[in-house]
């Protein structure tokens, strides 16, 4: 079946612009995660949803980052007033339940110029 | 958040050689996972280890979990170019905490 999809795959933004990154999880998966992966590093946790509830947003680096999953399926990660340090790959993962295997999407590579 | 250290950072070997990569933590893992990530893709789960001293094999890959559950290793026998990628270890407390990874290049 279809895996996790993310769009766009690549995004170039000028410093100060707002961006929105989309994640389509595997159908029926309850849990959804966002991670940020800087060049040469492992992914770092940003936020976690269980259905539509955002249960953990402890990894969001600043109040410029906002995530939502209003109907418990598709999720959007929004970054306001982008800065150069926001340049990274943003990965989305979904899981059938809490603590189970996470299935990752291909990521969105964000470059802020 | 658990801090995981991986070594070496980079590893380049010839096809047919063996390699080992390591993952260490100052605190005990509840469970540890190994992933492989290829360029332009997300990480893919290879194995989960839970019990101290556990050894798991996946074809040419052998995973060991330390007795004290603070360290793990991944050994690849007779590496092939298809084994090229970024190998990541992660602790799983519903959210994943990853190490920085080992970039493995297998030359044909």
- Give the model's pLDDT for residue B61: 97
DSSP A24-93: EPPTT--EEEEEEE-TTS--EEEEEEETTEEEE-TT--STTEEEE-TTSS-EEEEESS--GGG-EEEEEE
> Does the pLDDT of residue A88 top 80, yes or no?
yes
Give contacts of A40 with chain B, Cβ < 8 Å: 100
pLDDT band at B68 (very low <50, low <70, confident <90, very high): very high
- What mean pLDDT is reported for chain B? 95
The predicted model gives B6-23 an average pLDDT of 97
The predicted model gives B69-80 an average pLDDT of 97
pLDDT band at B102 (very low <50, low <70, confident <90, very high): very high
Q: Do B43 and A104 touch (CB under 8 A)?
A: yes
Which residues of chain B from 13 to 52 reach within 8 Å of chain A, CB to CB? 40-45, 48
- Give the model's pLDDT for residue A1: 57
B73 touches chain A (CB under 8 A): no
Rounded percentage of chain A residues whose pLDDT exceeds 90: 94
Tokens 């063996």 found at: B18
Burial environment of residue B27 by CB neighbours within 10 A (0 to 12, 13 to 18, 19 or more):
exposed
Give contacts of A41 with chain B, Cβ < 8 Å: 100-101
Q: Do A107 and B90 touch (CB under 8 A)?
A: no
- Give the model's pLDDT for residue B1: 64
**B75-80 long-range contacts, CB within 8 A, separation 24+:** B75/B18, B75/B19, B75/B20, B76/B18, B76/B19, B76/B20, B76/B104, B77/B18, B78/B16, B78/B17, B78/B18, B79/B13, B79/B15, B79/B16, B79/B17, B79/B18, B79/B19, B79/B104, B79/B106, B80/B15, B80/B106
| Half-sphere exposure of residue A24: CA atoms within 13 angstroms, side-chain side | 8
Give contacts of A94 with chain B, Cβ < 8 Å: none
- Give the model's pLDDT for residue A91: 98
- Give the model's pLDDT for residue B30: 86
pLDDT band at A76 (very low <50, low <70, confident <90, very high): very high
- Give the model's pLDDT for residue B9: 97
Q: Which of A58, A48, A56, A57 is nearest to A25 (CA)?
A: A48
- Give the model's pLDDT for residue B93: 85
Give the three-class secondary structure for B96.
Answer: strand
B90 touches chain A (CB under 8 A): yes
Probe site for chain B from A42, A45, A99, A101 (most B CB atoms < 10 A): A42
Min Cα–Cα distance to chain A from B52, Å: 20
Q: pLDDT tens across A1-17, in order?
A: 589 999 999 999 999 99
**Residue predicted with more confidence, B13 or A100:** B13
């Amino acid at each position: 079946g279809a895996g996790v999809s993310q769009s766009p795959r690549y995004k170039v933004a000028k410093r100060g612009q707002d961006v929105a990154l989309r994640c389509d999880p595997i159908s029926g998966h309850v849990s959804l995660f966002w991670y940020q992966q800087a060049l040469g590093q492992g992914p770092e946790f940003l936020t976690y949803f269980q259905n539509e509830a955002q249960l953990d947003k402890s990894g969001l680096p600043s109040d410029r980052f906002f995530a939502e999953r209003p109907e418990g399926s598709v999720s959007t990660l929004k970054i306001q007033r982008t800065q150069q340090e926001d340049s990274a790959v943003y990965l989305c993962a979904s899981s059938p339940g809490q603590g189970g295997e996470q299935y990752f999407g291909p990521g969105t590579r964000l470059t802020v110029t | 958040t658990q801090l995981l250290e991986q070594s070496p950072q980079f590893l380049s070997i010839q096809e047919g050689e063996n390699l080992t990569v390591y993952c260490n933590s100052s605190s005990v893992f509840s469970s540890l996972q190994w992933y492989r990530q290829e360029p332009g893709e997300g990480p893919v789960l290879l194995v989960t280890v839970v019990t101290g001293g556990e050894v798991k094999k996946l074809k040419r890959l052998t995973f060991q979990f330390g007795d004290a559950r603070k360290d793990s290793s991944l050994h690849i026998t007779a590496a092939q170019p298809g084994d090229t990628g970024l190998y990541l270890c992660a602790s799983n407390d519903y959210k994943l905490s990853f190490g920085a990874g080992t970039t493995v290049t297998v030359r044909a």
